[in-house]
Chains A and B, each alone.
Chain A
Amino acid sequence: MIETKDLRFRYSDTLPFVLEGLNVTIKRGSFVAILGHNGSGKSTFAKHLNAILLPSGGKVLVDGMDTVDEDRLYDIRQHVGMVFQNPDNQIVATLVEEDVAFGPENLGVPQKEIRVRVDEALRAVGMYDFRDRATYQLSGGQKQRVAIAGIIAMRPRCVVLDEPTAMLDPVGRREVMRAIHDMNRTLGITVVLITHHMNEAVDADRVLVIDHGKLLLDGTPREVFSQAETLYRADLAVPQPVELIYALRRDGVDIPGDVLTVDECAEALYHLLKSRTNTRG
């Protein structure tokens, strides 16, 4: 479990606060998406979760360990792994399996155990068949999955991913999202996904919206995306099905507002159009 208590942060004493008192509890095994526009503070928040940044005020507790406690830094980093935006900056070895082994090797894990972990991690992200490939030959989506496998092999409790799909094409994005969900479901690893792709947040257990360093919304995807007006004001988009229903309702069309997915939207429109014809025809 990760807990932030009145977390405040600024990059220097003369600059304004980027985070202005965030109180967030992330439960073990959950899948939390964090939304916010560029400059909202969402990446700064993420970097506090494994002590890359330390609070200017307030506290961050990782399984009870305070991130300012230098003696626990090693444990904290092992508990909470990070995956960044650019896959090319995260690959360190020339072969896929060597890259995945890098983390556990540094933790001093015995050779035999490393073999087991590397295979398990590569299977979890669907890259086992590529284990002896050269990393430079991989596509962006494949590299990103190898980076995720490298974190999984360190057996963290939680993985924080900072816009892991921002540089990928639709195919790569789908592959990486599937790997992240599998990691959460089958290995029980807590996922904190920073994104500005609304569609990626729809499948999370919980969505946090950060705006100007404050928590603007916190709830299930359905609860959060039903606040279209608030999201627009924070310069965020909503998924297209939500946007369509919202636009229709604003024009006075009588259609239920709790729609989130493509199927639900089609379903709602179907009933609307059908009932309308029946009454006329």
Chain B
Amino acid sequence: MNTILETRDLHFVYGGNSPTAQTALNGINLTIREGEFLGLIGHTGSGKTTFVQHLNGLLTPISGQILYRGEDIHANGFKLRGLRFKVGLVFQYPEHQLFEETVARDIAFGPRNMGLSDAEVAERVRQAAAFVGLGDDVMDKSPFDLSGGQKRRAAIAGVIAMRPEVLILDEPTAGLDPYGAFQILSQIREFRDKSGSTVVLVTHNMETVARAADRLVVFSQGTVAMDGTPEQIFGQPERLEALGLDVPQVSKVFMKLRELGIDVETSVYTVKYAKNLVETLLREGGQVC
């Protein structure tokens, strides 16, 4: 897979030279490949949000580089405005940024700024709304009359309508109930599969990310602490707990089983996988030490 975004030794400090200066990024080297679904996890203050705000040039690093398809985004002559259409960022609680009179106009705001024709804008709005599961019946409503979950979807649709090559979502399921979170996540996954876009999902919810991502990167104190497939990452539950992250409960069940002397793998992170594993063990007569 081609590299779409790359960061080299990225450093960032909040508060500059003041006595309260806080280092947020401490040398991040990360390569994001075209078309992958990357989960970025870490506890509060680990630098995840600061990092993604560098990827479309909202924040400028104090040192290090961000390369988009091999080009330094802060080099002279690089068009940052154009980059923001290609790298779409959905902020935390994006529903706070809804502002238009109707849902349709709110979703249209991004593509309209790209200078597209009315017909093209209308088509993109329709498609983006369909991706996030908003029906025709809500398109002419005020965004402020929608439920919390619907507002969240409308805000995500506004970014999807720009058809970004990279879609970055910062805690898209925060504050939603498990069903609402599952729905939004499935829709993002479907958007990725159909559009071929790259997705970066920032979250501290391990059970959410376990179901969706192809690759997981764990941040800690402004550095990359772990990087691998979900199996590789969830196979180290003790390490995750030490980094202040929640290990899915089903992983804990298998950690406990090992403690009790049953030789099972501990890289179990979904209930479905756990069920299949137990049933396989039963068929094979188990592997008790």
A: which residues have CB within 8 A of B?
Answer: 37-39, 85, 139-140, 163, 166-172, 196, 198-199, 235-237, 239-241, 243-244, 247-248, 251, 253, 262-263, 265-267, 269-270, 272-274, 276-277, 280-281
Interface contact B178-A274, CB-CB below 8 Å: no
Interface contact A244-B260, CB-CB below 8 Å: no
Which A residue sits closest to B260, measured CB to CB?
A: A270
**Complex alpha-carbon distance, A139 and B244, angstroms:** 14
Q: Would you give 6 A-B contacts (Cβ < 8 Å), ordered by A?
A: A171-B43, A239-B249, A244-B275, A244-B278, A266-B257, A272-B282
- 5 A-B pairs closest in CB distance: A266-B256, A170-B246, A240-B249, A277-B286, A235-B179
Q: Does B271 contact A (CB under 8 A)?
A: yes
Residues of chain B with a CB closer than 8 A to A263's CB? 256
Interface contact A166-B250, CB-CB below 8 Å: no
Q: Say whether, besides A38-B148, A248-B275, A270-B262, A276 and B286 are in contact (CB < 8 Å).
A: yes
A202 to chain B, nearest CB (A): 10
Q: Interface readout for B173-189 with A: 1 if CB under 8 Å, 0 if not?
A: 01111111000000000
**Given A247-B271, A273-B262, 10 more contacts at CB 8 Å?**
A38-B177, A163-B175, A170-B43, A240-B249, A253-B282, A262-B253, A266-B256, A269-B278, A272-B278, A276-B282
Which A residue sits closest to B42, measured CB to CB?
A: A169
**Complex alpha-carbon distance, A70 and B249, angstroms:** 47
Interface contact A169-B257, CB-CB below 8 Å: no
Q: Does B153 contact A (CB under 8 A)?
A: no
Residues of chain A with a CB closer than 8 A to B275's CB? 244, 247-248, 251
B interface size (C-beta, 8 A)? 40
Residues of chain A with a CB closer than 8 A to B76's CB? none
Residues of chain A with a CB closer than 8 A to B225's CB? none
A262 to chain B, nearest CB (A): 5
Most chain B CB atoms below 10 A, which of A163, A240, A281: A240
Residues of chain A with a CB closer than 8 A to B43's CB? 169-171
Interface contact B248-A237, CB-CB below 8 Å: no
Q: Does B149 contact A (CB under 8 A)?
A: yes
Residues of chain A with a CB closer than 8 A to B207's CB? 240
Which A residue sits closest to B46, measured CB to CB?
A: A169
Interface contact A253-B253, CB-CB below 8 Å: no
Which B residue sits closest to A239, measured CB to CB?
A: B249
Q: Interface readout for B256-289 with A: 1 if CB under 8 Å, 0 if not?
A: 1100101000000001101100110110011110
Interface contact B248-A139, CB-CB below 8 Å: no
Contacting residue for B278 out of A169, A248, A277, CB 8 A? A248
Most chain A CB atoms below 10 A, which of B177, B252, B262: B177
Residues of chain B with a CB closer than 8 A to A196's CB? 177-178
**Complex alpha-carbon distance, A178 and B209, angstroms:** 26
Q: Does B147 contact A (CB under 8 A)?
A: yes
**Complex alpha-carbon distance, A109 and B279, angstroms:** 63
Interface contact A269-B253, CB-CB below 8 Å: yes
Residues from 207 to 221 in B contacting A, C-beta threshold 8 Å:
207
Interface contact B175-A236, CB-CB below 8 Å: no
B153 to chain A, nearest CB (A): 12
Q: Interface readout for B141-176 with A: 1 if CB under 8 Å, 0 if not?
A: 000000111000000000000000000000000111
B: which residues have CB within 8 A of A?
Answer: 43-45, 147-149, 174-180, 204, 207, 244-246, 248-250, 252-254, 256-257, 260, 262, 271-272, 274-275, 278-279, 281-282, 285-288
Interface contact B286-A167, CB-CB below 8 Å: no
Which A residue sits closest to B269, measured CB to CB?
A: A240
Residues of chain A with a CB closer than 8 A to B285's CB? 276-277, 280-281
**Complex alpha-carbon distance, A85 and B175, angstroms:** 9
Residues of chain B with a CB closer than 8 A to A235's CB? 177, 179
**Complex alpha-carbon distance, A274 and B287, angstroms:** 9
Interface contact B244-A244, CB-CB below 8 Å: no
B271 to chain A, nearest CB (A): 5
Which A residue sits closest to B283, measured CB to CB?
A: A276
Interface contact B253-A140, CB-CB below 8 Å: no
A71 to chain B, nearest CB (A): 36
Residues of chain B with a CB closer than 8 A to A166's CB? 174-175
Which A residue sits closest to B175, measured CB to CB?
A: A166
Interface contact B257-A199, CB-CB below 8 Å: no
B94 to chain A, nearest CB (A): 14
A42 to chain B, nearest CB (A): 10
Residues of chain A with a CB closer than 8 A to B249's CB? 199, 239-241, 262
Contacting residue for B288 out of A236, A239, A274, CB 8 A? A274
Q: Say whether, besides A139-B45, A239-B249, A248 and B279 are in contact (CB < 8 Å).
A: yes
A108 to chain B, nearest CB (A): 36
Q: Say whether, besides A37-B177, A237-B179, A265-B253, A169 and B274 are in contact (CB < 8 Å).
A: no
Residues of chain B with a CB closer than 8 A to A243's CB? 250, 271
Interface contact B44-A262, CB-CB below 8 Å: no
Interface contact B257-A244, CB-CB below 8 Å: no
**Complex alpha-carbon distance, A112 and B246, angstroms:** 42
Residues of chain A with a CB closer than 8 A to B45's CB? 139
